[in-house]
Amino acid sequence: MATEDEGDLSARYQNTLDALSSLITKRGRFASNNQSHRFRLLFHYLKVLELEDAVSQMKIIHVAGTKGKGSTCTFSESILRCYGLRTGLFTSPHLIDVRERFRLNGIEISQEKFVDYFWCCFHKLKEKTSNEVPMPTYFCFLALLAFKIFAAEQVDVVILEVGLGGRFDATNVIQKPVVCGISSLGYDHMEILGYTLAEIAAEKAGIFKSGVPAFTVPQPDEAMHVLNEKASKLEVNLQVVEPLDSSQRLGLQGEHQYLNAGLAVALCSTFLKEIGIDDKNGLNQTNGLPAKFISGLSNAYLMGRAMVVPDLELPEEIVYYLDGAHSPESMEACAIWFSKQIKQNQERNQKRSEQILLFNCMSVRDPSLLLPRLRSKCIEQGVDFKRAIFVPNVSVYNQVGSSSEVATRVESMSWQFGLQRLWESLARGKAKSNSRSDSKGNGEDKSFVFSSLPLAVDWLRDNARQSKQVRFQVLVTGSLHLVGDLLRLIKK
C-alpha cells in the first residue's frame, strides 16, 4: 500500500501535470508568423527566473536535425558520463512520462524534484504575466524548466536536443555552447520549416554561433550547401563526420545509428578537449576510440527507438518491435532494422511467424510518404506484412495531464480509415504486380481499424490464443506517441 507521503506526492504530481497541460495551446505549434516574437520573450523569461548568468556559464552541447538528433544526444550523454562528468540531458518528446525529458546522470528526474522545480518556475512566471507577456507555451516552459533543473543540480555538461527547427527553437536561447551538431536532414514539419531542403537546412543552421565549432553528417547537396554558407558567415568551423565503423557495438540498434554515433564521437571529442580532457589512453586499434567512448556507446539507451518487447500476457506468442520513426527516411531505416530482426529470429526460432503492422501517424504527416517507403523497403528485404492495424491519434496513456480528461476526448476515425485505404491501395498494387509476373497474389493481406489501442491489443491477444503455433511479430511505428501508449498499456 502507498504511504501517506507517497499518496501526497502522487496528488501533487498530478496537479503539476494538470498545470503543465494548461500551457498547451492549439496555436502554439503552427503559428509560424509569431515565432520570432515568442523567441524574443524567452530572454525575458530567463531574466524573471534569474537564470541568465547560470545559463551563460553552462557548458553545452547543442544538437539539431531532422532525424537522429535524440540518438546523437543519448550517445553523447552516455560517453561523457563515463568520464565522471555530471550530465544533464534534455530531449523530446517523452513516451510515457514528461520526466523522461530531463535526465540527470542518465536517470530521469524524480517526481519530488520535478514538482519542486516546476512550481518554482511556474509561480515566478505567472506573477509577471500580462497581455504583452503571456505565460510560455508548453515546450518553451519545458526548456526553461530544463535550464532551472540543470542550474540547480550543478551539472558539468548540458546536452540539449532541439525541439523543432533550430533558429527559433526555445533551446536556442543559449548564446555560447561549447560545440554544435546537425544530424541527418530531411523533410519534416514543412508547414513551419519550409518545403525545400535548403529552407529546412537554414532553420537548423540557426543554432550555429560565431566561432563555435560544429559538426554534421553527410547531407544532400542542397542542404550541405546551405549549412556551409551559414557556417562561413559566422566563421564556424563546420566539419563533416563519417559513420562509425560497424564493428563497434552500440547500445541503440539499427544501421543508421552508426551515423549518429559518429556524430556523437566528434561532439564529445571536441567537448572534452575544450574543457581540458584529452584522452589518448587505451585507444582501440580497430576504431581508434578510447575505452570510455566504447563503453558509453555500447551502454547508451533510448526508450522507443528500435526496441523489442514481448507481450506481458503472451510473451511467446506476441513480440512487439517498437520504433518511433515518423519521417520518410526514418521509415526506411526502421524497415531495414525490423527486417533484420525478423530474419535473425527466423534463424533461431522454428515457430512459424506472421508480421503485423500497427501504425499511427499524426495528421501533420503525409502518410503517402511514409507507408509506401515502409512497405516497399520491407518487401525489398524479404519481409511482408500479413495484416495491418490502424488506431486513433489520441494518446490516452501519455502522461502529460489528467488521464480522465484525455480519455473523454473523442476523435473522428476518418484519419484512420484514410490510412487503411492507402494501405489497401498499396496491397492491390502489389497484387497486380504479382499477377503480371505470373506469381500468386498473397490474398491474405488484411487491414483493420480499431477505435482504441487497447481494443487492438485485445484483438491481437485473442488471435494469438487461437493460433498458438504462430508467433505474431508486430511492428509498432509511425508515431512516438503510439510507441509510448503501447509501452504503458502492455506493462500495466
Is 50 exceeded by the pLDDT of residue 437?
no
Q: What is the CB neighbour count within 10 angstroms for residue 292?
A: 20
| Residue 189 annotated as binding site | yes
Predicted confidence band of residue 7 (pLDDT cuts 50, 70, 90): low
- Label residue 433 exposed, middle or buried (CB < 10 Å: 0-12, 13-18, 19+): exposed
Give the residue with greater pLDDT, 278 vs 267: 267
| Domain limits, the chain | 8-24+34-299, 307-398+411-428+443-491
Please state, in angstroms and as integers, the Cα–Cα distance from residue 417 to each residue in 364, 408, 447, following that order: 16, 21, 10
Close Cβ partners of 76 (under 8 Å, ≥ 6 residues apart): 61, 63, 159, 264, 267, 268, 271
> What pLDDT score does 364 carry?
78
Predicted confidence band of residue 362 (pLDDT cuts 50, 70, 90): confident
pLDDT tens string 33-64: 578 888 999 999 999 999 999 999 999 999 99
> What pLDDT score does 404 carry?
38
Q: What is the mean pLDDT of residues 221-248?
A: 94
| Residue 225 annotated as binding site | no
> What pLDDT score does 430 carry?
63
> What pLDDT score does 392 carry?
85
pLDDT tens string 176-213: 999 999 999 987 666 666 678 999 999 999 999 999 99
> What pLDDT score does 189 carry?
63
> What pLDDT score does 394 carry?
58
| Residue 245 annotated as binding site | no
> What pLDDT score does 489 carry?
85
pLDDT tens string 374-398: 999 999 999 999 999 999 865 544 4
Amino acid at 231: A
Amino acid at 154: Q
Is 50 exceeded by the pLDDT of residue 29?
no
Q: Which helix (H) or strand (E) holds 179?
A: strand 179-182
> What pLDDT score does 46 carry?
97
Please state, in angstroms and as integers, the Cα–Cα distance from residue 169 to each residue in 17, 44, 442, 465, following that order: 23, 15, 47, 48
In DSSP terms, 1 is beta-bridged to: none
pLDDT tens string 83-129: 999 999 999 988 889 999 999 999 999 999 999 999 999 999 999 98
- Label residue 221 exposed, middle or buried (CB < 10 Å: 0-12, 13-18, 19+): exposed
Cα 263 from Cα 416, distance rounded (Å): 37
pLDDT tens string 280-321: 665 554 568 999 999 999 999 888 888 899 999 999 899 999
Is 50 exceeded by the pLDDT of residue 2?
no
Topology of domain 307-398+411-428+443-491, per CATH?
Protein-Tyrosine Phosphatase; Chain A (3.90.190)
Q: Which helix (H) or strand (E) holds 449?
A: strand 446-449
> What pLDDT score does 419 carry?
94
| Residue 330 annotated as binding site | no
| Residue 32 annotated as binding site | no
Task: Give the homologous superfamily in CATH for domain 8-24+34-299.
Answer: Mur-like, catalytic domain (3.40.1190.10)
Cα 60 from Cα 56, distance rounded (Å): 10
pLDDT cut 70: percent of the chain above it? 85
Cα 456 from Cα 358, distance rounded (Å): 9
Q: What mean pLDDT, rounded, does the chain reach?
A: 87
